[in-house]
Chains A and B, each alone.
Chain A
Amino acid sequence: MKGPTDCVCSEAISRCVGACALVLSGWMLSGSLRATELPLHVSHRMVVPSTTRVSGIGFDAAGAQAYLATGAAVTAFDATSFRQTDSLQLPAAAVAMAIDQEGSKGYAAIAAPAELVVFKLHPLHIESTIPLHDGVPAALLYASSEHALYVLSDASSTITRWDAASGKRSGQVRLSGALGQMATNARGTLYVANTTANAVDAVDEHSMKRLGAIPTKHCVGPTGLAMDPIGRRLFVSCQDGARTVIDTDMGFTFESFPTGTPGSSQMVFAMHPFGAGGWKGAAFNAGGNGELAGLRMNAFVNYSAGGTYALDGKVQAIALNVPAGQLWLALARPQSTTTEANAPAQHVELLVLTPSKGPTP
């Protein structure tokens, strides 16, 4: 393994300098952290046919169809040809979207009026709407293990549980602090990033009672959260640019990558995200700081910094399409950097990243 000063500047100097700084200050905790560029490249990029924010990206179970919630629409794309295949008009702009792959359903939370829109994926059509009375929704999570939806409301600092089958409200927890991304462990515990408390709150999914908090050591202002499919590793990204890995069995932060580029971000994780021959697992986070960062799972108890990838815009949504080996990003871009001559002044691009030649992530 190379030392922290072995930064290889293959592309932009600024990217390399930033990455090296990250490595030097991060070396203290994670000897494996080093400046590398994520071995990904943009295999497809397209302008999103809307000027409004992308509030969610999701895929069907086969990874063949991608669903994009942007403004008051959900648009379906073929994940190979990237051609639009379907679209759905929502009653209002969505603030979040979640997909139930097994049930071939989608859920969109809209703010005005506060509603949960339940829609079918094939073909896209609205199945029902559920009024939300617990404040304006800000985030949404579908937990397949519980067939439950969790709707987070910033205004009321609550997370409300809805039964996906019946559409009935089945519980609520009120938490203090500014809340970020949610994740579940498929064994009855819901986790939510508590940005102001520098902790991850844990909630019993059945009773919707708070079980305690896991402090995000060496990671200030957690916003992004992702769980491994087994439900024992929680990946956290923080506003100070740090990322940590928590063993949820003990509530113990055992891997810390302390310094990255500051900014709020979302996190996603998958085992073998780009195929069986690549990384055992990877967590990616991206947000408003114009950077995609990766954590590589070498073993279940060992992680290293997978590298970073400079983005020319702010990431609005991120999602992994594991069957297709794709990482999708919705990127808000100013006109000056756009590749499309006829693109609007400020617009959103969809980036699909796949492994570069050489070391496969």
Chain B
Amino acid sequence: MNEQDRQKRRALIILQVVIYGYLALMIAIQLRLWSQRHW
């Protein structure tokens, strides 16, 4: 694999981590609010 492809793969992995990390963060925030506010 050439350098450009390697960088591309890294960037795409970072993208997935960021996106799903964001969603996981939101889930965590919502779960925490749920435990505090007893919906």
Is this pair of chains taken from one and the same complex?
no
Q: Show the binding face of B for A, using Cβ within 8 Å.
A: none
Where the two chains meet, the residues of A that have a C-beta atom closer than 8 Å to any C-beta of B are none
